[in-house]
Amino acid sequence: MKTTNNKDLPPSVWLGFPIASLLIMWLTPLLGFYRWEMLMTGEYGFIESATFIFLLPVIILSAILVHRFLLFSGLTRTTALIMAGVMLFCVLAAVYFAGEEINWGQIWFKWETPEEWSEINYQQETSLHNIEGLSILNNFPRLMMLVFTVVGGIIIPLALIRWRRTPGADRKLWYYLFPTWRIIPIALIAATISIPSKLYGKGYGANLLPDDYTYPYMAFAANAGEMKEYAFALVMLVYVLGVFLLVREFKNRAE
């Protein structure tokens, strides 16, 4: 029987990513407004680009896990099928999230938005979440991610810490369905990162002059919406990667 020490996320991932993200957010304003604006805002800025990049491995790993759970003989058939369904949902959610983030390729390939689409999309983009009258395509996914982040990424992982150590726990659905406590740092960031912006009541580009962009505003409030999406993408990546490592560990011990 083989053993491995790779059954859970390394600190470089579950702690390194949150720390690096906060440092980037807090340090880039020190470069001045124009450098901060160039690096951190817009479709080609760090936040938007990194959000899309984080979602790519989510799609790939989730697809791999769908296949592995369908063939997984170490779990009950019901548990394996449920987890395959959850991973399939992660694939679809990440594809939608990533596609909307880059306007389904429009920001790269620069095609013109069809006139009919421009009339119903208030940003004149090839995207679904900006369609007038269909705010549910933007608000509902955000709400669901917030619920998953708070309940599934903070509360339940804390509640299951002791249970995970009990013999046979790795054959139960909950062992794979909910992440370990290592998701908590990035989940806390995702759940709270937009709170400072409520104190300002305005976002980047809201008829503000460069002199209005003080360090606290740039560091904590200006990019709140984009940073929340960035953190949500990281939550998805940490979750899926954690499941991937748990499955690999279980299979290694079973061989």
Q: What is the mean pLDDT of residues 168-190?
A: 94
Amino acid at 165: R
Q: What is the mean pLDDT of residues 60-74?
A: 93
Task: Say what the pLDDT of residue 173 is.
Answer: 94
Burial (Cβ within 10 Å: 0-12, 13-18, ≥19) of residue 136: exposed
Task: Say what the pLDDT of residue 199 is.
Answer: 79
Checking 208-213 for CB contacts under 8 A at 24+ apart, the result is 210/33, 210/34, 213/29, 213/33, 213/36
105-138 pLDDT tens trace: 888 887 788 887 787 887 778 878 778 777 788 8
Asked if pLDDT for residue 2 goes beyond 50, the answer is no
- Measured distance CA(76)–CA(1) in Å, rounded: 21
Task: Say what the pLDDT of residue 254 is.
Answer: 60
- Measured distance CA(146)–CA(191) in Å, rounded: 6
Block residue for tokens 């779990």: 75
**DSSP H helical segments within the chain, as ranges?**
11-14, 16-27, 33-40, 46-70, 77-101, 106-109, 115-120, 136-147, 156-159, 173-177, 184-192, 195-200, 215-220, 224-254
φ, ψ at 121 (rounded to 5°): -110, 115
Asked if pLDDT for residue 6 goes beyond 60, the answer is no
pLDDT band for position 3 (50/70/90)?
very low
**What is the average pLDDT score of the chain?**
89
Q: Is the dihedral of CA 243, 246, 252, 255 positive or negative?
A: negative
Asked if residue 88 lies in contact with residue 62, where contact means CB atoms within 8 angstroms, the answer is: yes
- Measured distance CA(1)–CA(249) in Å, rounded: 12
- Measured distance CA(199)–CA(215) in Å, rounded: 15
Asked if pLDDT for residue 253 goes beyond 80, the answer is no
Block residue for tokens 């859970």: 8
Of residues 209 and 66, which shows the higher confidence score? Answer: 66
199-236 pLDDT tens trace: 777 666 667 788 888 999 999 998 888 999 999 999 99
